[in-house]
Amino acid sequence: MVTETALRNFANQPDSHFGMNSLKFPHRFFFAIVLIASCVITTGALAQNFAKSVVVTEQVRAELVVQAPDGVGAGQTVWVGLQLTHQPEWHTYWKNPGDSGLPTTLQWTLPAGVTAGEIAWPLPKKIPIGDLANYGFEGTVLLPVPLSITPAFKPSLLNSALEIKLKASWLVCRLECVPQDGEFVLQVPVRGSTALNSAAFAASLQAQPTALEGDSRMEIDGNQLKLTVPGLPPALRGQQLEFFPETPELIDPAPAWSQQWTQLASGDVWTASVPLSRLRSESPALLPLVLVADINGQRQGVRVQARLLGNWPPIVSLAKTTSPVRAEPAPALTSNRGAPTAPAISVGLWVALLGALLGGMILNLMPCVFPVLAIKVMSFTRHANDRRGHRVSALAYSAGVVLSFVALGALLIGLRSAGEQLGWGFQLQSPAVVAALAVLFTVIGLNLAGLFEFGRFLPNAVLSLEAKNPAVNAFLSGVLAVAIASPCTAPFMGASLGLALALPPLQALLIFMTLGIGMALPYLAAGLVPAVARWLPRPGAWMDTFRRAMAFPMFATVVWLLWVLGQQSGIDGAAALLALLVSLSMVLWSLTLKGHSRFITATISIASLVLLTGAIGQNVVKMAEASPTTSASRWQPWAPGRVEQVLATGAPVFVDFTAAWCVTCQYNEKTTLVNPEVLADFTANKVTLLRADWTRRDPAISAALAQLGRNGVPVYVLYQNGQTPVVLSEILSVQEVRAMLAKLKSS
C-alpha cells in the first residue's frame, strides 16, 4: 500500500534519484508524450465504449446499462437493461401495446455459460389517442433483464470481462410512429464492481408489479369479460384500479368499463366488467393481468392470474369483415378467400389458378422483364430454320421458367413456415442479391456489346458440352427471366399470390407453377405452333446489330439495381458497387488483350477487383442503420398502428405499399401518384397519404400485406372509418384513383 508519506517523499526526491525531476529535457519530453498518448488512447477507448452502449435518435435516447456490484461470478445474477429516455409527447410500448403499436424487443448475444431471462416489465400507463388507447411508457423507463452466470462461463485471460451484445428494436410514437433499432456492446469487468446505475435499477425493480396468489376468476358474459379478484393488498383496497391484461387483442382498451369493491366475510373483493375486443384472436384459460393504483402520486401494482370459468365463445372469422374489396374485377376470389367450407375453397383455388395464368402472361409485358427480352429473342431466332431445335429451345426455356417459379415458391413457403415474414420479391430485399444481379447483368451487357465472348474463357470440354446441349442455354434463360421478373406483380397476380400462402403447400405450389406456365406460354406457343413461329424474323446480319443494341437495356437494368442498392445501404454502398463493376469490366477487357500487357493489366485489375469486393462486403452487404425516409413531403412514412391513429381522427387514409426494387411501383409513383389532378383530389378529400417502404425486409409491412390478402408489392389501399378497405389494381391509372376519390366524396 502506498502511503501519503511515501508519495510525498517520492515527489520531493532530488534530481539524482529516480523521478520526473530526474529526467533531462529530451527524456522528460519523450516521457510526457507517452503519458499524453496513453491518456488519449484511454479516453478514446472509453468514448468508443460509451458510443457502443448509447444510441440517440430525434425521439429517444437508448442506453444499455448494467448492475453488477459484486462482479461477475458463477451462481450470480447480473442485471442489464435498456434505458429509454423519450422526448416530450413520445412513447414506446409495453408487452401488450393496446390498440396499436409493437412492444420493445431485445435480442442478446452472450458468451457460453451466460443466459438472459425475460424483461421485467415495469408498470405501464394508459395512453389515449383519439378513440384508441395504448399501453406504454413515457419519460424515462428502464427495461431490466436478469443474466444468469453459470460455471460454464470462462472469461479469457486476455480480456477478463463479460461482453454483452444487444440488438434492440422499438416503436416510438406520438401522433406519428417511427420504428427504430440499435446495436449495443458493453464490457463488464469480471472482478470489479459495476454499480453506477444502481439507483435506476432499484427504481425499476420497485416499479414491478408484485405477484399475488389467490383464486382470481374471469367469466364471459356476452361481449363483456367479468373479473373477480380477492385478496388484494390493503394499500390497493378501495382504490380505483387500472387494468392491463398481458394478452393482446383480448379487450378494447379505450371504451369505459366498470369496477366496484364488494365486502365479504373473507375480505374485500374487486370485480370489474371490461368490453371484449371484436378482433379477439386468443382464448386463454389463464389470463395474467396487472392491476395498478395511484396512491398519493406513487403507482403501485400487482400481477394476478385469472382462471376461466366456463368457455370462451368461438372466435369470429374476420375474413368476411376485413377482406378488402378490390377495385378491379376479381369478385369471386375476394369473396371466397377465407370461406370455411371445402367447396368454397375449391372455387377460390380455381379462380386463383386462372388469375395466376393470366398474371404470368401479363408479366412478360411488365417493365422489369424487358431487359431479358434480348436473350429470349436471340434464343428463338437462332433456331428459326431448325424446327426441332426451336421446339427443344421453347420447351427448355419453359422448363426453366416453371421450375424456377416452383423453387421460388417452395423457398418462400418454407421460410414463412419457419416464422420469417417474407413476401413476393423477398430476394431483392437483400443488398447482397442486388449486388450479385448487378454484376451478372454487367457481364451479360458487356458480352452483348461484343467486348468479349464466353467461349474464350471456357475450357474446350465445356464448349463441346454446350454445343451438344443447346437446351441448357434456353433453360438458364428461363431461370434468369424469373430472377428478374420475380419482384414484379402483374394484374391478377396479387390476389392469387395472397391466397397461395394461405393454402396447403401443395396447392400453393400449384399456383406458383401456374404462374410459370403463364409466363412461358407465349414462348412455348412460338416453339410448338408453326403459325406463331412464322411471325419471328429470319436470321441475318441484323442479329449482330440487334445483339449489340440489347446491351443497353442490360446496362439500364444495372443502373436501376444500383439505385435500389443506394436506397438500401446508402450512397457509399452504391459507389462501392459501381467501382467494383468498373474494375470487373477492366478485368474482362484485360483478358482480351495479347502479349505481356495482358498479364500486367490483368494482374492490376484483378487486384483492384479483390480489394473492391472486400469493400462491397463491408459497405453493401451490411444494410444501412438509418430508417428509410420518404422523399416527398406530402407522403408520411407508414408505421404499425398509424392507419388506426389517423382513422380515429375521422380522416380517410391512402397507403402506398412500395419498394425501390419494384419497377411497377416506381412507374406508378412517377406517373399516377404525382399527377396534379390526383394530388388535388387527395387534398380536397383530406386524405392522409402514407407510404410503406418495403425495400428492406420489414416484418410489420409483411404482416400488414398479409391482412390484405397480399404478399407482394405494389399494393394501394384506401381505408375509411367503418368501411371495408378498398384495394386498387397493381397498375394504377389516373382515372381509377380519381374515380375512387369521387365515390369517397359522394359518400
**CA-to-CA distance for 355 and 326, rounded, in angstroms?**
14
pLDDT band at 500 (very low <50, low <70, confident <90, very high): low
Q: Which residues pair with 144 in a beta bridge?
A: 81
- Mean pLDDT, the chain, whole residue set: 74
CA atoms within 13 A on the CB side of 701: 28
**CA-to-CA distance for 397 and 379, rounded, in angstroms?**
9
Q: 359 and 459: one domain? A: yes
Does residue 446 surpass a pLDDT of 70? yes
- CA distances to 118, 262, 271, 276, 294 from 259, rounded to whole Å, are 31, 10, 6, 15, 16
Closest residue by Cα to residue 371 from 554, 243, 504, 537: 554
Backbone angles phi, psi at 735, to 5 degrees: -65, -40
Closest residue by Cα to residue 91 from 11, 158, 171, 184: 171
Q: Which of 275, 308, 341 marks a domain boundary?
A: 308
Q: 480 and 542: one domain? A: yes
Q: Which three cell numbers stand for residue 84?
A: 429509454
Alpha helices in 287-341 (DSSP H): 319-322, 331-336
pLDDT at residue 18, as a whole number? 40
Segment 86-92 shows an average pLDDT of 91
Q: Is 256 helix (H, G, I), strand (E, B) or coil?
A: coil
pLDDT band at 167 (very low <50, low <70, confident <90, very high): very high
Backbone angles phi, psi at 258, to 5 degrees: -110, 150
Residue position matching grid coordinates 493489366 = 601
pLDDT at residue 140, as a whole number? 93
CA 517 remoteness from chain centre: 31
pLDDT at residue 661, as a whole number? 64
Question: For residue 317, is it within any domain?
Answer: no
Q: Say if residues 181 and 103 touch (Cβ distance below 8 Å).
A: no
Q: Per mean pLDDT, which range of 246-260, 463-477, 685-699 is the poorest?
A: 463-477
pLDDT at residue 42, as a whole number? 41
Q: 667 and 593: one domain? A: no
Q: Which residues pair with 227 in a beta bridge?
A: 218, 272
pLDDT band at 20 (very low <50, low <70, confident <90, very high): very low
Cβ burial of 289 (10 Å; 0-12, 13-18, 19+) is buried
pLDDT at residue 632, as a whole number? 44
Closest residue by Cα to residue 74 from 151, 147, 146, 162: 151
Q: 304 and 332: one domain? A: no
Q: Using only C-alpha atoms, what is the Rg of the chain?
A: 33
pLDDT tens-digit profile of 221-241? 888 899 999 988 888 888 899
DSSP track, 662-723: -HHHHHHHHTGGG-HHHHHHHHHTTPEEEEEE-SS--HHHHHHHHHTT--SS-EEEEE-TTS
More confident: 638 or 362: 638
CATH number at residue 262: 2.60.40
Q: Which of 157, 184, 208 marks a domain boundary?
A: 208
CATH number at residue 172: 2.60.40.1250
**Cβ contacts of residue 302 below 8 Å, gap of 6+?**
209, 210, 211, 212, 232, 233, 236, 290, 291
Closest residue by Cα to residue 337 from 318, 354, 314: 318
pLDDT tens-digit profile of 508-560? 788 888 888 888 887 777 777 766 666 666 666 766 777 788 778 778 878 87
Helix (H) or strand (E) holding 242: strand 242-245
Q: 547 and 427: one domain? A: yes
Q: 235 and 144: one domain? A: no
CATH number at residue 714: 3.40.30.10
Question: For residue 433, is it within any domain?
Answer: yes
Q: 687 and 546: one domain? A: no
Q: 400 and 526: one domain? A: yes
Q: Would strands 258-264 and 267-275 be described as parallel, antiparallel, or unpaired? A: antiparallel
Q: Per mean pLDDT, which range of 271-275, 386-390, 616-620 is the poorest?
A: 616-620
Q: 454 and 564: one domain? A: yes
Does residue 193 surpass a pLDDT of 60? yes
Question: For residue 625, is it within any domain?
Answer: no
Q: 228 and 107: one domain? A: no
pLDDT tens-digit profile of 277-291? 877 777 888 889 999
What is the total count of domains within the chain?
5
Question: For residue 542, is it within any domain?
Answer: yes
Residue position matching grid coordinates 413456415 = 417
Question: For residue 322, is it within any domain?
Answer: no
pTM comes to 0.43
Q: At what angle do helices 551-590 and 596-619 cross, to 10 degrees?
A: 120
Q: Say if residues 611 and 592 touch (Cβ distance below 8 Å).
A: no
Question: For residue 315, is it within any domain?
Answer: no
pLDDT at residue 544, as a whole number? 74
pLDDT tens-digit profile of 312-369? 887 654 333 333 433 333 333 333 333 333 333 344 567 777 877 887 787 776 655 6
pLDDT band at 65 (very low <50, low <70, confident <90, very high): very high
Cβ burial of 76 (10 Å; 0-12, 13-18, 19+) is middle
Q: 364 is in which domain, residue-wise?
A: 328-619
Q: 191 and 90: one domain? A: yes
What are the b/e assignments for 640-674, b being 16+ CB within 10 Å?
bbbbbbbbbeeebbbbbbbbbbbbbbbbbbeebbe
Q: HEC string of 409-470?
A: HHHHHHHHHCCCCCCCCHHHHCHHHHHHHHHHHHHHHHHHCCCCCHHHHCCHHHHHHHHHCC
What are the b/e assignments for 189-216, b being 16+ CB within 10 Å?
ebeeebeebeebbeebeebebeebeeeb
Segment 666-688 shows an average pLDDT of 87
Question: For residue 160, is it within any domain?
Answer: yes
